[in-house]
Amino acid sequence: MSIQTPNWVKNAVFYQIFPDRFAKVQPPKDAQYQFQTVAFEPWEDPPTLQGYKGGNLWGVIEKLDYLQELGVTALYLNPIFQSACNHRYHPHDYYRVDPILGGNEALEALLQAAHQRHIKVILDGVFNHASRGFFYFNDILENGPYSPWLDWFKVFDWPVSAYNGDFPANYAGWVGNRALPEFNHENPDVREYVMQVGEYWIRQGIDGWRLDVPYEIDVPGFWKEFRERVKHINPEAYIVGEVWEDAQYWLDGNQFDGVMNYVFTGPTIAFTARDRVDRSLVEQPAYKPYPAQDASNYAEHIEMLLDLYPWEIQLAQLNLLASHDTARLLSIAQRDRASVKLATLLLLTFPGAPCIYYGDEVGLPGKLDPDSRRSFPPKEKWDEELWQWHQDLIRLRHSYPALRTGDYKILHAQGLVYVFARSLAASELIIAVNSGTENASVDVPTDKLQSQPRRLLYGEAELQWDSNRNTLSLQLPPRQGCVIGN
pLDDT tens digits, residue range 105-160?
A: 999 999 999 999 999 999 999 999 999 999 999 999 999 999 999 999 999 999 99
Q: What would the mean pLDDT of 360-375 be, rounded to a whole number? A: 98
Percentage of the residues of the chain whose pLDDT score is greater than 70: 100
Which active-site residues does the annotation give? Answer: 212, 242
- What is the band of 1 on the pLDDT scale with cuts at 50, 70, 90? low
Q: What would the mean pLDDT of 304-328 be, rounded to a whole number? A: 98
Residue among 457, 461, 478 nearest 393 (CA):
457
Radius of gyration, alpha carbons of the chain: 23
Same domain, 342 and 465: no
Same domain, 105 and 188: yes
Rounded-to-integer distance, Cα 169 and Cα 281, Å: 31
Same domain, 419 and 332: no
pTM of this prediction exceeds 0.95 = yes
pLDDT for res 34: 83
Residue among 355, 395, 357, 348 nearest 376 (CA):
357
Helix (H, G, I), strand (E, B) or coil at 455: strand
pLDDT for res 82: 97
Same domain, 383 and 238: yes
Would 96 be classed as within a structural domain? yes
Cβ neighbors of 131 (< 8 A, separation 6 or more) are 83, 84, 90, 91, 92, 137, 179, 180, 181
Confidence check: pLDDT of 420 > 90 = yes
DSSP assignment, residue 245?
S
Rounded-to-integer distance, Cα 59 and Cα 23, Å: 4
Domain that holds residue 30: 7-128+183-399
Rounded-to-integer distance, Cα 371 and Cα 378, Å: 17
Q: Strand order of the sheet with strand 407-414? A: 407-414, 417-424, 427-434, 480-485, 455-459
Confidence check: pLDDT of 84 > 80 = yes
Would 136 be classed as within a structural domain? no
Confidence check: pLDDT of 2 > 90 = no
Name the residue with higher pLDDT: 208 or 31.
Answer: 208
Residue among 76, 172, 184 nearest 127 (CA):
184
Rounded-to-integer distance, Cα 397 and Cα 348, Å: 7
Rounded-to-integer distance, Cα 444 and Cα 56, Å: 50
Q: What would the mean pLDDT of 7-24 be, rounded to a whole number? A: 98
Helix (H, G, I), strand (E, B) or coil at 400: coil
Would 161 be classed as within a structural domain? no
Same domain, 376 and 428: no
Q: What is the mean pLDDT of the chain?
A: 96
Question: Which residues is 97 bridged to in the sheet?
Answer: 81
Please count the other Cβ atoms lying within 10 Å of the Cβ belonging to residue 425.
9
Confidence check: pLDDT of 92 > 90 = yes
Alpha-carbon torsion (33, 34, 37, 42), positive or negative: positive
Residue 479 has φ and ψ, to the nearest 5°, of: 55, 45
We report the CATH number of the domain holding residue 461 as 2.60.40.1180
pLDDT for res 38: 83
Would 435 be classed as within a structural domain? yes
DSSP string, 32-79: S---TT--PPPTTSPP-SS------HHHHHHTHHHHHHHT--EEEEPP
Please count the other Cβ atoms lying within 10 Å of the Cβ belonging to residue 381.
11
Domain total of the chain: 2
Cα→Cα distances 390→120, 279, 327, 339, 462, Å: 20, 26, 19, 13, 22
- What is the band of 161 on the pLDDT scale with cuts at 50, 70, 90? very high
Rounded-to-integer distance, Cα 291 and Cα 282, Å: 11
Confidence check: pLDDT of 423 > 80 = yes
Q: What is the largest CA-CA distance in the chain?
A: 84
Tens digits of residue pLDDT in 175-230? 999 999 999 999 999 999 999 999 999 999 999 999 999 999 999 999 999 999 99
Confidence check: pLDDT of 324 > 70 = yes
Same domain, 317 and 465: no
Same domain, 340 and 450: no
Would 281 be classed as within a structural domain? yes
Same domain, 304 and 359: yes
pLDDT for res 39: 86
Same domain, 388 and 438: no
Would 329 be classed as within a structural domain? yes
